[in-house]
């Protein structure tokens, strides 16, 4: 087991990173605003589970391969950008979710659909993979041995705090979105904002070096 002070230090920095504006929390906020808390919670949990793949990659050394292979990095980057662009176009084409339509959607749309969106968007983002490769080893204690187990411990801490923080984002933004959805003129623009966020994130990822 890693020392408690190491885990708390890692937790503190992880919280700062998670609260800082980034692709994942912007996805949670935008989807919660336009589609409600359930969609936001789905995206939040999907993003957190996507971190599992990056932790596994960092542990196995796959992220190091990505870092040393420009072609592989480019392929993953373009795949992630195209996926986010597709989500953005879908949101822009949406007629907007009124309060009644949003309630009906929650009853018919599978919650796993949003979880899958969050997971894919996070899992195929090479920037996140390289972040874990650079960030987590700084808290390892080689003298304790079992480095892979230490990576798992740090990964679990990061995932749990991500679920909590993103869950709070989803709850707050979902409540605000529900209030805005009561206004027919405002409701359609929620999806426009969501679409713009996804397209902006796609462009941002496309130009990551």
In a domain, 84, yes or no: yes
Per-residue pLDDT tens digits for 129-174: 877 877 888 888 888 888 788 888 998 999 999 999 999 999 988 8
In a domain, 105, yes or no: yes
C-alpha closest to that of 58 among 154, 141, 143: 154
In a domain, 179, yes or no: yes
Rounded-to-integer distance, Cα 75 and Cα 5, Å? 39
CA distances from 187 to 25, 32, 42, 95, 175 (A): 21, 13, 21, 9, 13
In a domain, 16, yes or no: no
What does the block give as tokens for 89? 């176009």
In a domain, 140, yes or no: yes
- Give residue 43's domain range: 23-206
Per-residue pLDDT tens digits for 53-78: 888 888 787 667 777 788 877 887 78
- State how many domains the chain has: 1
């Amino acid at each position: 087991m890693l020392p408690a002070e190491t885990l708390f230090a890692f937790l503190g920095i992880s919280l700062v990173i998670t609260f800082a504006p980034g692709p994942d929390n912007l996805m949670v906020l935008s989807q919660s605003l336009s589609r409600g808390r359930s969609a936001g919670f789905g995206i939040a949990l999907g993003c957190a589970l996507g971190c599992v793949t990056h932790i596994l990659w960092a542990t196995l050394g796959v992220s190091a391969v990505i870092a040393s292979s420009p072609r592989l990095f480019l392929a993953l980057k373009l795949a992630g950008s195209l996926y986010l662009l597709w989500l953005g176009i879908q949101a822009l084409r949406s007629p907007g979710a009124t309060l009644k339509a949003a309630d009906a959607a929650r009853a018919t749309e599978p919650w796993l659909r949003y979880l899958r969106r969050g997971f894919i968007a996070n899992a195929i983002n090479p920037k996140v993979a390289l972040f874990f490769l650079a960030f987590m080893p700084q808290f390892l204690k080689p003298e304790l041995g079992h480095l892979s187990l230490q990576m798992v411990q740090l990964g679990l801490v990061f995932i749990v705090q991500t679920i909590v923080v993103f869950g709070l984002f989803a709850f707050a933004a979902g409540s605000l979105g529900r209030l805005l959805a009561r206004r027919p003129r405002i409701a359609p623009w929620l999806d426009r904002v969501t679409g713009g966020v996804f397209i902006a994130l796609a462009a941002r990822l496309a130009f990551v070096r």
